[in-house]
């Protein structure tokens, strides 16, 4: 019998009398030697279920870069909302104390931010033949893959909340909007620089944002860290004065900011405008008109397929209110209350407008102070491992052919203090695409 093992090679077993050992052929009672195909009979014991639940969390945690620096709260029992507390700073005390007179006391001012918890989850099916004949432990492998899926999912939920913060810095503040950020040019590229970091740190300091273990922290994409790490001031973790306490994924430090690298860091990507091409071209000149002729019939554009999209045309960003395969009507914003007259010439390029200049990807680097945001914990109901045995579906599985293993999570993330976080948006040497 091939016993299931964990990553260190140890048998997955526990030691009470009559315990069950999970193997590839089935479950073996170590007092009787009887083998029962997995999912029939007793199935997973409480101890084994605990093991797999911990294994699921262990495989989810490395992906949770965006949860590392949050206030973490347990899921409240039986409630759909969770409360995060935000404490206002105490004001300065500028009046001298009178000798022998006790001054007035102060009250803590606490703001409560409530958020509604949502559920997420996924599962895979394991057939009876796969369970009984596979050489490897499919439950272990399924749990490992599901843990990674759960981690990426929950991390992205937090990432999207943080990426919606109100404090945005476009490169070195040389431009005023995302669609103006450029890259891949001979000069004038808006890549992440040390000056970008200095400007963000200046802002956090001016807001009295507290540091995290003596530094501000940043979550950065590998494409962007490439542009920053060649600076001579960059310090790798082994160059720290105290290298003992390194965050998961930490790659270095500069200007008082410690950087956590994550391939899941936010990228603003503009989808292709047509099914056959990324850009469109203008087919007839427009002189201050909101109706622009395009070559959509050969680009894979159909009636209404551009509605709700932003486009860049003639140096302007416009919202597509209506379109056919040969024309589009442009507005200043999504309310469509005012049309946008555009001046352009035939053969001018129309670029997707949800990201940078000419549709180039834009990367978000988050610079965070302490207590900037809050989220729910993985444990205590935050992330659950669920196994359904062969035949547990009753008459819908009459031949006991299907078992399932899955995960379910209760999750919410909220921004607590906008002034304690900055999002730096830049282009990069690379083009990674959406995630």
pLDDT digits (tens, 9 = 90+) for 160-178: 999 999 999 999 999 999 9
Read off the pLDDT of each residue in 90-98 and give the average, rounded to a whole number.
Answer: 83
Task: List, in sequence order, every residue forming a beta bridge with 67; answer none if it has no partner.
Answer: none
pLDDT on residue 372:
95
* pLDDT over 50 at 261, yes or no: yes
* pLDDT over 70 at 202, yes or no: yes
pLDDT on residue 43:
57
What is the residue whose two structure tokens read 């559920």? Answer: 119
- Break the chain into its structural domains and give their ranges: 280-354
End-to-end CA distance of the chain: 43
From the list 336, 346, 349, the residue with the least C-alpha distance to 309 is 336
Comparison of pLDDT for 271 and 92, the residue scoring more: 271
pLDDT digits (tens, 9 = 90+) for 218-242: 999 999 999 999 888 899 998 887 7
pLDDT band at 94 (very low <50, low <70, confident <90, very high): confident
Strands (E), 39-97: 71-73, 81-87
Q: Which residues contact 169 (CB under 8 A, 6 or more apart)?
A: 196, 199, 200, 203, 422, 423, 424, 425
* pLDDT over 80 at 131, yes or no: no
pLDDT on residue 132:
67
pLDDT on residue 30:
39
* pLDDT over 60 at 13, yes or no: no
* pLDDT over 60 at 31, yes or no: no
What would the DSSP string read from start to end of 248-313? TTEEEEETTEEEEE-TTS-EE-PPPSSSS-S-EEBSS-EEEESEEEB-HHHHT--TTTTTT-EEEE
pLDDT digits (tens, 9 = 90+) for 290-340: 999 999 999 999 999 999 999 999 889 999 999 999 999 999 999 999 999
């Amino acid at each position: 019998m091939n016993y299931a093992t964990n990553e260190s090679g140890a048998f997955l077993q526990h030691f009470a009398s009559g315990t069950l050992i999970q193997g590839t052929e089935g479950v073996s009672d170590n007092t009787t030697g009887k083998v029962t195909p997995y999912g029939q009979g007793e199935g997973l014991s409480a101890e084994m279920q605990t093991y797999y639940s911990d294994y699921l969390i262990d495989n989810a945690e490395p992906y949770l870069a965006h949860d590392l620096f949050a206030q973490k709260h347990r899921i409240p029992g039986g409630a759909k909302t969770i409360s995060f507390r935000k404490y206002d700073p105490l004001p300065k005390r500028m009046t001298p104390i009178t000798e022998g007179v006790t001054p007035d006391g102060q009250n803590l001012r606490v703001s409560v931010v409530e958020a509604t918890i949502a559920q997420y989850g996924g599962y895979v099916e394991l057939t009876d033949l796969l369970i009984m004949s596979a050489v490897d432990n499919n439950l272990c492998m399924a749990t490992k893959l599901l843990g990674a899926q759960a981690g990426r999912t929950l991390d992205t939920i937090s990432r999207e909340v943080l990426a919606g913060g109100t404090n945005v810095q476009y490169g070195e503040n040389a431009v005023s909007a995302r669609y103006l950020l450029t890259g891949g040019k001979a000069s004038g590229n808006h890549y992440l620089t040390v000056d970008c970091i200095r400007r963000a740190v200046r802002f956090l300091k001016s807001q009295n944002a507290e540091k995290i273990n003596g530094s501000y922290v940043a979550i950065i994409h590998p494409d962007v860290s490439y542009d920053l790490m060649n600076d001579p001031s960059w310090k790798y973790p082994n160059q720290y004065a105290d290298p003992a306490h390194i965050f998961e994924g930490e790659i270095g430090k500069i200007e008082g900011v410690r950087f956590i690298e994550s391939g899941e860091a936010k990228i603003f990507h503009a989808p292709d405008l047509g099914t056959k091409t990324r850009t469109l071209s203008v087919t007839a000149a427009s002189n201050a008109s909101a109706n622009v002729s395009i070559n959509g019939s050969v680009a894979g554009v159909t009636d209404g397929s551009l509605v709700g999209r932003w486009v860049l045309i003639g140096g302007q960003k416009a919202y597509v209110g209506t379109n056919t395969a040969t024309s589009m009507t442009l507005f200043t914003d999504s309310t469509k209350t005012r049309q946008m007259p555009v001046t352009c010439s035939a053969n001018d390029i129309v670029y997707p407008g949800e990201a940078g200049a000419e549709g180039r990807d834009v990367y978000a680097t988050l610079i965070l102070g302490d207590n900037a945001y809050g989220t729910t914990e993985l444990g205590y109901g935050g992330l659950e491992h669920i196994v359904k045995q062969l035949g547990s579906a009753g008459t819908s599985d009459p031949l006991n052919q299907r078992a399932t293993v899955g995960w379910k999570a209760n999750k919410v993330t909220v921004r607590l203090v906008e002034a304690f976080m900055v999002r730096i948006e830049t282009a990069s040497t690379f083009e990674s695409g959406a995630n």
